[in-house]
Structure 1
Amino acid sequence: MENSTKKGMFWSFPVSHFSYFFIWAIVSGYLTLWLEQVANLNGSEAGIVFSMMAAMSLAFQPLFGFFSDRLVMKKTLVFIILGVGVLIGPYFEWLFMPLLAATNPFVIAVITGIYLSFVLNGGVSVIEQYIQR
């Protein structure tokens, strides 16, 4: 029984690692096209999204590092990041598009940059740290 528990623990690492980087690759690969072709943002508005992702990741990484050190091998923060990552599609469909029509595109670009930074740029350190432990 203990051997099967260790085997299950082993497979949780590559599955979580693969899932996270799969989400990151899909979002990063198609986000610019989607923002310009579907959401009809111009280049500067799409650039604000990516700028906010970079800027906010500088704030999220130290916070995530602090919480990761406190949680050690608990998967709470990993599951939060993966769960929020799974909700990227619904965010863009159900929140981003309606809010874009109702408010200033720059405000929505800033909010989207913060959201994606939480999942992608800031979350990478949590996933990597969990895999290394």
Structure 2
Amino acid sequence: MANRERGEVGARFRGEDIALVLDFNAICALEDHYDEDIDTVLARLDSAGGKRRVRGRDLRRVVLELMRAARPGTTEADAGDFITETGLEALPDLLGRVIAASRMVASDEAPSPEDPARPPETGAA
């Protein structure tokens, strides 16, 4: 089951409830894989108003890293199967909710009613 306090978003995979989370480890893994900062990596998911297509391998890599916190043994094939089960049409909304729930990156998307609001920034460094 997803823990909203940790920024996790619930999903279904192979008949089970799973949690997706963009945590610090996922961010580091994505930055290492692409050799780019996380904002640039996440921009790969934006189809730029339909002007370009999102590459499947980029979707699969991001989903892989979002799954790994709760399912450490997740493979690229598992991530691909998750995308197939979820459906490409539902994936942008799901990924948007995961990014919005993360306390690791800024998001333009407001939290949905089922997701808790983020705590206020403290300004502490």
TM superposition score category, shorter chain reference: under 0.3
Higher-Rg structure is 1
Please report the TM-score for the alignment, with normalisation by the length of structure 1.
Answer: 0.24
TM-score (normalised: structure 2): 0.25
